[in-house]
Structure 1
Amino acid sequence: MVNADEIGAGIGLPPNAVRILKQLACDLKELDCVAYEGVVTFFLNGTEGLPQTLDKIPERFGEAWFLCHRVDLHAALKRLAFSKEPGTEGHGPPAILHLGKKVVDYNSTSGTITLDGGIIQRADLIIAADGIHSACRTILLGDIGRPTPSAIAAYRWMVDTTIIKQHPELDWVTAGPSGP
């Protein structure tokens, strides 16, 4: 279950993702996005690293780079995928979600996946979002070896907001943009 009170659960939407979301008729305003204009890294000893600015992204790539809350993106994509609302005709029938099922086989020639229990599903597009050790990649491409480390890392950690709220000096963290 996704906790809608999560803070810091941001997700990056680089220009290609923005372009795809727009093609899917996703309203970026409903995502409450902010422009990603750069980052400053800090070393373990606390000193500041070199800032990286992304100020010319729209001119170079045709779209801006945004950050939004993961829960907002998931809600928007879910709305698009399952929508039966007027104005969504032409995007195909609403998606069907199969919870608690494991994909046991993929067939790129027939455009099918086989779920445990032998259920076969057919689609024009199948997205396997099963991570860096993807079973889909192994089934479709064979053993292509281990992924090559990029030397770039991202991490995520979560703190229960009820713990933060016990510390008045951290009100700024949960107060939102208008302040406490």
Structure 2
Amino acid sequence: MHPGIGLLLEIGAARPELLLTGQALTDQGRVVSVMLDAGWSREQLRQVIAARPLPHPVRTTVGAIVAARLRAARAYPPPARAAGPHHDVPVGDDPPPQPVAGSAATRTVGEALTYRALVECAGCGLPATALGEDLCPACLGWPGCRTCPGPTPRRAHPDGDGRCATCASALSAQPEGISP
């Protein structure tokens, strides 16, 4: 068993609502193992996964929510671990190593765990892609884009012209005289 799977099972035992099974456990267990190898501590990963409550109601799978939380944490290098009693004493005449300014080692655990490139939607756990909102466009009830092709169009801001940001930017990138 991978160390990541073991950690996820420990988290699931402590918080049954976060218990992963099957393919989600295997997939996210591998991700957690890679993060452990990259320098994340078990406690830091517990915080990433379990520090926030699940959205209510959950509109996706718990596996998808855990995956999104891990993906957001992996966007940056692991935070520095707090120096324990065996780390703050130099060996011999060597001074303790100092972190390089601006490196991941200078970030605190709290900074690494609270940074999210996109805020997690309070309604469904997916990224809240609407700027300045804590809900995603679907949970906000935004209408579908009137120009997106396919069965599941993107969402358009209700105060806009009925087009999503992608379609609006694609239209503005078109050379003059050419219509989409």
Relative to the length of structure 2, the TM-score reads 0.21
Higher helix fraction (1 or 2): 2
Higher strand fraction (1 or 2): 1
Higher RCO (CA 8 Å, separation ≥ 6 residues) = 1
